[in-house]
Chains A and B, each alone.
Chain A
Amino acid sequence: DAGVIQSPRHEVTEMGQEVTLRCKPISGHNSLFWYRQTMMRGLELLIYFNNNVPIDDSGMPEDRFSAKMPNASFSTLKIQPSEPRDSAVYFCASSQDRGQPQHFGDGTRLSIL
């Protein structure tokens, strides 16, 4: 049974470049979450979709960050332009429904030089 699939696993790029992180949730799950994890700030919820609609994006740091969920099986998190302070591990998670346990992907380790 495939879990949440994220790509790429690692991304190293120079500041100013556009970065796109991808996520495929578990089939049948209707809630999707993007998180950022750093030593300094812990695990931060960036955005939460339910049935492909953004429910809460108050955690998105600034306009450089954007997220889309064009269909139930795919979501992207984009950073443009990227900055060194965006370096972190970005996790995508999905759950069967609102309030249910979340299943996390393996994360994307992003380094902005």
Chain B
Amino acid sequence: AQSVSQHNHHVILSEAASLELGCNYSYGGTVNLFWYVQYPGQHLQLLLKYFSGDPLVKGIKGFEAEFIKSKFSFNLRKPSVQWSDTAEYFCAVNAGGGSYIPTFGRGTSLIVHP
């Protein structure tokens, strides 16, 4: 069975700091990878996705993620965070070639101080 691990449970940054959130998954086959964001009191929204092609994907609001197949990783980055980026971030994996059951990580809570 596939699993997703997000290493950072809580991250606190000041505005303009750089951000990197780790995500590792365990599945040996083809995967679709996602990052979702959940702002306080709201539902999850898609930030970015990777299916194939260029392993560096760009999403909304200046976020990007890099798929490193050899490391089974899909880390999320942003060069300069803003107070409005305060939210919960979830990494998710769909194992391809099968039932595509989605698996979410436990989430990382990001607090950005103004």
Contacts and interface: CB of A to CB of B under 8 A. Distances in A.
B95 to A, nearest CB: 9
Interface in A6-56: 31, 33, 42-43, 45, 48, 50, 55-56
Nearest to B105: A42
A105 B32 CA distance: 21
Contacts of A105: 43
Nearest to A109: B41
Interface residues on A, range: 20 to 34
B79 interface: no
A107 B43 contact: yes
Interface string B49-64: 1000000000000000
* 10 closest Cβ pairs, A-B complex: A98-B100, A104-B43, A99-B100, A42-B106, A99-B94, A104-B44, A101-B46, A99-B32, A43-B104, A56-B101
Interface of A: 31, 33, 42-43, 45, 48, 50, 55-56, 91, 93, 98-107
27 contacts: A33-B102, A42-B106, A42-B107, A43-B44, A43-B90, A43-B104, A43-B106, A43-B107, A45-B101, A45-B104, A48-B101, A55-B101, A91-B44, A98-B94, A99-B94, A99-B96, A100-B32, A101-B34, A101-B49, A102-B36, A102-B44, A102-B46, A104-B45, A105-B43, A106-B42, A106-B43, A107-B43
